[in-house]
Structure 1
Amino acid sequence: MLGGCATLPVKMSWSEGEAFDDFSKLDAQKQAEVLGSLADKLKNGDETTKCKALYVLGKAGSGAETTVPDILNAFQKKKATCKTNAAYALIKIGSAAVSGLIGATANKYPDVRANAAWALGEIGTVSTATVPSLVVLLRDKDPYVRYYAAEALGKIKGPVVPDLMYALGDNNPEVCKSVIRALVAIGSPAVPELLKILKGRGSAAKTNAAFVLVDIQVNDSVPAIAEAFDALDDEGKLAALISLIKAGVNVERYLPVIVKGLERNGFFSMMLEKALERGGTAAVPLFAELAKSRSPKIRSTAVWGLGALAPMEKGTETVLLAALADENAQVRGMAVLVLGYPRGDSQKYIPALLKTMEDKDYLIRKRSADALAKIGAPAIPAIFQLVRDESRTSHFSAIGKDAWLPPGQKVSKVELVSKMGAPAVPLLIEGLKDKDQAVRDLSSRALAAIGSSAKAAVPVLVEIVKSGNHRDKVNAAEALKEIGPGAVQAVPVLVGLLLNNEPNVKETAIEALGKIGLAARMAVPELKESLNGRPWVRINSALALWRISRSTEGMSVLFSGLQSGDLWIRDLSLQKLGEIGPLAAEGTVPYIRKLLSENNQQLKRAALQVLRKMGDGGKAAVPELIGVLKTNNLDTDVRDIATEILGSFGPAATDAVPVLAEALNSKFANYQEPAGTTLAAIGLPAVPALIEALKSGNSGTRASAAKALGKIGPAAKEAMPALISLLKSKDSRYFQQPLRDVLNTIDPAVKPTDGVGNN
């Protein structure tokens, strides 16, 4: 609202304030005493006291009816700072306040007239004088008054359509929006007048009338709209079409107008497209015709409508198959997208989707893979055949044909098949036996990606480890590794591989045994022997020993690796200790602290990735993390990880509050949100810094600080006055509702209308 309360107490500190919640339970004598005291405060108190009194009277509701004259007196004074609180009290009192509010609509002060209009709308009582008084305010010279008058008329829904039509031509866009909302609320009774405007020439209100027709529920007015259609201009016809479609009318005869509208840019074409998409099966013939358009945009709209909204209707298959081969990428992409939704006829599209898997457009390839993944196991035979064909005709790997693409552009068939999960496992087991190496590669790697759910494949994988060629053997061991404890049957054959000197075989077997864990105890002697091997074997054997037997000997090898003169060995040892996690913190965190103090950004990043796995054992690194935030102004990745880790420590990271507050006040938006999140995690010790941040001149800082206080919750009650002050200021106009939500989270007793408004 336009006026604001000078102060909003979080808790009343005087007797009337303590009584307001149970006012209705007081006896008549006590009620009279409380109301008399409050009336006296309205007459003789300072502005703060008056605001408190008005707040309490609002809570008393209709029981405060006898104080209406005193409230109106406070409400209509020029210098009163509690107009919104007074209006709030009158709203809660209800119909007994209507007569006085009608009188206030003629007050000489604009903010009084605006608050009076708002209050009348909230009360919603229709009296013989309410509507005429509000209609007069539609022509007020102050835009705020006109805004709230229109809003009130929309809530009261009296016989005001002609007057609101006049207001559609208001030169203030915010007033026009309020008028539009009012007419939409009134509904079908407004349609005849809207059509008159739409048939007129040069009316400044024509566009706004069309907006209303788009949003209004017009089921009762379909004949009137259809009759007036030919007399409307292009904009009016589009608005009318949208209304007719939403009303479920068959608009096939308007096809030329629809095509013309869809070819336009702007609000009406977007709304028309959305209306068509909601047309359901009744719109199928229309979509089928639109699919023949020369415009890619219209063909794309038709594909979406047919595929997503009427997937099983006759004629849909022909349109979708044609769209998958369309010359335009937008149309192909839309067809692939709708095929990703659940449908009963998906399998017939498998060959076409396999072709679009090779599309030159990455997004289409990605969507095709997603659609095939949702079709699931029935698509696997066709994928195998595609892999066979590719392996015979391409010098690229059949399952990595897109290796030449940038990393983010690859669409892996392994990833595609693995997304199908456990239902794909039986077919992948058969694929392990295929004569084509590429199919076997795909099957074993997909099983590895499926992981523990591929346990049924273990017997076949074991046989491959025993007798397969080198490539199959490595792939099978890799799959057993990812299946993990479910691959216990493979332990003897994996132990045997520890004596194998073929490249990658022994290494993969060591990792697999470690992943299987305690059930691989028979491998301990051979793994201890491997501690004397080359660095990669030694370090991975140490991790495997720890996983299988919690061997301190294995962890000691990893700790000693941190002291190596070889940077590669130090880095690998650190990564393996990270896999052990908090139990390795005592020996790992000191080394991490040392790395964080160095200038090598790559080492810092690696150290932080391990530190986030150390749990509470990493709290000793808080000083170094603070140092990272002070010195890494350009490397946002390092900053973000350090900030996140500090948040995981909660109040133990209190020493970081100053540097986090500095980041929160930064001009860089990507610093503000992470800093606010971490300050929220630190909790109560961060509240003073967050309160200070609410005063910042940077809107992002204010928003992040408020959000953080909301996450802290009731413990941030100290921030209520600052939050309320911000809510009432112009600085909050773009995030009013989030601020109200924060206030409610901290103290649910504070309601959105409790004297809080915009100055």
Structure 2
Amino acid sequence: MSAPLEKLLRDARIDLVLSRIEKDESVLKEVIKYIDSNIRSIKFNSIHVLGEVGKKSVNAISKIVSCLEDEDWSVCREAARSLGKIGNIAKEAVSYLSSLLENEEESIRKEAAIALGKIGNPTLESISRLIKALDDESEIVRTEVAIALGEIGSDAYEAIPFLMKSLKDLSWIVRTASAQSISLIGKESTKAIPSLISALEDPDWRVRYRVANALKEIGDASVPGILEVLDHSNKIVRKEAIDALGEMKITDPKIIHAISKLLTDKTEMVRGKTADTLRNIGKAAVPNLLRGLEEANNKMKVIIISALSGIGSDAIDAIPTLISILEFIEEINSDEIEIKKNLLYSKSILPRIKLMFSTLNEYFSARVKSEAARALGSIGKDSENAISALEYALINPKFIIRREAALSLGKLGSSAVVALPSLIEALEDRNPDVRWRASEALGIIGVSTENVISGLSSLVHDKCDYVCEAAITALDDLAEN
């Protein structure tokens, strides 16, 4: 035998009450009646249940509103919370909830702010009280008030100047909520651009993230202001400004040129973010990235080439440059080798440091070429010159270049069929990574010749497991084709 509804409410068996309502909505009328109960737990849980039901509780709104004046603060708070869950149909509660923003109990002020944001339907009084509550002594109340103003949207445009002030709040949570709400309000949010740009210097990354998002939401109107801080003395501001521009659909060559100047910024993270932003811009930024390659050190070249690769087929104009990088041969004479030996065996620490940097430079030089090979796999599908350059790179002395060349030929698929003989030779490479990628490439290209089958079969028992697996997979793919 099922328990009486009154007992379930008294015992806070909310799940069972909700289950009954789901099966029989007439139970909802009984729950509404229990709001008048003199037993605190029954009254409290009735209000709670009605909030969980949401808009179905439309007939209970007036009774719940009356509970906002209950002497028990917890009942008052629960009424505010439930009205927020019921949503915009509870507009008659707006005036009462607004007055609760000055209640002595912090949790009531908090729930009143949340409810006002969810209900919407603002009045001049409710907006005025929310603006005043931005100065509440409680951090959590100020945060929820800022969020509520954003949820109300354009009708809260009068709050923009006060939210701008809140961008300097001592709490990063409040600053973050304020930045987000400025962008959500939209109307007249352009007035907040100077304050938002100043907030790019905020010490908390979460605030900067929301500020950058707000500037992105505002759009074109924020671009002139952002451009002005691209040469800011603070590297964080420069980085965040570039990041904000990266999410916009920039097509103006002058703006792209201004952004590309930061490819030579003195700070690595700014240079990297600039390359990433130019990648997001796409085809229009390719000439700027190519110019950036000319002045970049090897480490930065890797980043720029990666950005070109990310642009994909729209970066077709970069193919000649990438080929020249891949085919460039650095001459090392016997005198240079002798110098390095002397550095290595020197008793002084300084010559050894010089050797270390020389070795690092050689490493990054190989990285540049391998990145160029990888990029050609993303860009050079219809380029015979790109395929020839990758085929030639299969005999490069550096294994990482040979590996990336094999990988890229595989990416190019059937258009790289002319490279089959070179890939078959690469199956005998001394480095397992090269044999692995060459096997994969042959499987992807999908041309089954006697030499291809023979070469892949010879790797089925390779000493490296992943090479064996790649060869077997390639043979299976060729058999299916």
The answer to whether TM tops 0.5 is yes
Aligned to 1:576: 405
**1:190–1:427 Cα change, 3 Å:** same
Which of 229, 242, 249 pairs up with 1:414? 242
The answer to whether residue 130 in structure 2 is matched with residue 287 in structure 1 is yes
For residues 379 and 366 of structure 1, the distance between their equivalents in structure 2, rounded to whole angstroms, comes to 16
Aligned to 1:679: none
Aligned to 2:2: 138
**1:419–1:556 Cα change, 3 Å:** same
Shift, 1:385, TM fit: 2.1
Aligned to 1:363: 206
Shift, 1:321, TM fit: 0.6
Deviations 1:306-325 (A, max 9, x none): 12323353531122112111
Aligned to 2:144: 301
Contact 1:276 1:305 in 2 (8 A): yes
SS of the equivalent of 1:278 reads helix
**1:303–1:424 Cα change, 3 Å:** farther
For residues 342 and 625 of structure 1, the distance between their equivalents in structure 2, rounded to whole angstroms, comes to 63
Shift, 1:574, TM fit: 1.3
**1:333–1:593 Cα change, 3 Å:** farther
SS of the equivalent of 2:170 reads coil
Aligned to 2:101: 255
Deviations 1:55-105 (A, max 9, x none): xxxxxxxxxxxxxxxxxxxxxxxxxxxxxxxxxxxxxxxxxxxxxxxxxxx
Shift, 1:237, TM fit: 1.9
SS of the equivalent of 1:560 reads coil
Contact 1:288 1:319 in 2 (8 A): yes
**1:545–1:379 Cα change, 3 Å:** closer
Shift, 1:437, TM fit: 8.3
Shift, 1:386, TM fit: 1.6
For residues 373 and 292 of structure 1, the distance between their equivalents in structure 2, rounded to whole angstroms, comes to 27
Which of 205, 213, 231 pairs up with 1:388? 231
Matched residue type, 2:249? G
Deviations 1:668-722 (A, max 9, x none): xxxxxxxxxxxxxxxxxxxxxxxxxxxxxxxxxxxxxxxxxxxxxxxxxxxxxxx
Larger-gyration structure (1/2) = 1
For residues 164 and 625 of structure 1, the distance between their equivalents in structure 2, rounded to whole angstroms, comes to 72
The answer to whether residue 402 in structure 2 is matched with residue 559 in structure 1 is no
Deviations 1:138-196 (A, max 9, x none): 24xxxxxxxxxxxxxxxxxxxxxxx4224434687754553465686643553222321
- Normalised TM-score (structure 1): 0.42
For residues 486 and 611 of structure 1, the distance between their equivalents in structure 2, rounded to whole angstroms, comes to 26
Structure that is richer in helix per residue: 2
Shift, 1:218, TM fit: 4.2
Matched residue type, 1:178? S
Aligned to 2:339: none
Deviations 1:452-498 (A, max 9, x none): 4417x95x999x79xx99579x99xx69967787788xx7xxxxxxx
Which of 212, 216, 228 pairs up with 1:373? 216
**1:417–1:228 Cα change, 3 Å:** closer
Using CA pairs under 8 Å that are at least 6 residues apart, name the structure with larger relative contact order, 1 or 2. 1
Contact 1:546 1:554 in 2 (8 A): no
For residues 17 and 60 of structure 2, the distance between their equivalents in structure 1, rounded to whole angstroms, comes to 23
Contact 1:366 1:411 in 2 (8 A): no
Shift, 1:357, TM fit: 1.6
Contact 1:255 1:286 in 2 (8 A): yes
For residues 444 and 171 of structure 1, the distance between their equivalents in structure 2, rounded to whole angstroms, comes to 57
SS of the equivalent of 1:387 reads coil
For residues 412 and 175 of structure 1, the distance between their equivalents in structure 2, rounded to whole angstroms, comes to 51
Contact 2:21 2:28 in 1 (8 A): no
For residues 438 and 127 of structure 2, the distance between their equivalents in structure 1, rounded to whole angstroms, comes to 53
Contact 2:135 2:142 in 1 (8 A): yes
Shift, 1:344, TM fit: 3.1
Contact 1:215 1:243 in 2 (8 A): yes
Contact 1:303 1:334 in 2 (8 A): yes
**1:231–1:453 Cα change, 3 Å:** same
Shift, 1:420, TM fit: 1.3
Equivalent runs, 1:438-587 vs 2, <5 Å: 445=275, 448-454=278-284, 512-513=319-320, 530=327, 533=330, 548-550=383-385, 553-561=388-396, 564=397, 569-580=398-409, 581=411, 582=413
Contact 1:311 1:343 in 2 (8 A): yes
Equivalent runs, 1:97-246 vs 2, <5 Å: 137-139=1-3, 163-169=4-10, 175-179=16-20, 181=22, 186-188=27-29, 190-196=31-37, 199-201=38-40, 203=41, 205-216=42-53, 217-227=56-66, 230-231=69-70, 233-244=72-83, 246=86
Structure 2 unaligned residues grouped into runs of 5+: 332-364, 448-452
Structure 1 unaligned residues grouped into runs of 5+: 1-136, 140-162, 395-400, 404-409, 492-510, 516-523, 630-641, 654-759
Matched residue type, 1:254? L
Deviations 1:6-39 (A, max 9, x none): xxxxxxxxxxxxxxxxxxxxxxxxxxxxxxxxxx
SS of the equivalent of 2:136 reads coil
Deviations 1:630-672 (A, max 9, x none): xxxxxxxxxxxx9xx99xx79969xxxxxxxxxxxxxxxxxxx
Contact 1:574 1:588 in 2 (8 A): no
- Normalised TM-score (structure 2): 0.63
Aligned to 2:158: 315
Matched residue type, 1:215? E
Shift, 1:302, TM fit: 0.6
For residues 165 and 651 of structure 1, the distance between their equivalents in structure 2, rounded to whole angstroms, comes to 72
For residues 274 and 311 of structure 1, the distance between their equivalents in structure 2, rounded to whole angstroms, comes to 17
Matched residue type, 1:277? G
Matched residue type, 2:99? R
Deviations 1:602-656 (A, max 9, x none): x69x968995997476997999899569xxxxxxxxxxxx9xx99xx79969xxx
Deviations 1:411-467 (A, max 9, x none): 554333222123454433467799x989xx899857732454417x95x999x79xx
Contact 1:346 1:375 in 2 (8 A): yes
**1:437–1:402 Cα change, 3 Å:** closer
For residues 365 and 355 of structure 1, the distance between their equivalents in structure 2, rounded to whole angstroms, comes to 10
For residues 14 and 437 of structure 2, the distance between their equivalents in structure 1, rounded to whole angstroms, comes to 52
SS of the equivalent of 1:187 reads helix
SS of the equivalent of 2:156 reads coil
Shift, 1:244, TM fit: 4.6
**1:431–1:223 Cα change, 3 Å:** closer
Equivalent runs, 1:626-665 vs 2, <5 Å: 627=465
Shift, 1:336, TM fit: 1.9
**1:626–1:316 Cα change, 3 Å:** farther
For residues 625 and 185 of structure 1, the distance between their equivalents in structure 2, rounded to whole angstroms, comes to 73
For residues 529 and 255 of structure 1, the distance between their equivalents in structure 2, rounded to whole angstroms, comes to 67
Aligned to 2:177: 334
Percent of paired sites with the same residue: 15
Matched residue type, 1:279? I
Shift, 1:297, TM fit: 0.7
Q: How many residues align?
A: 401
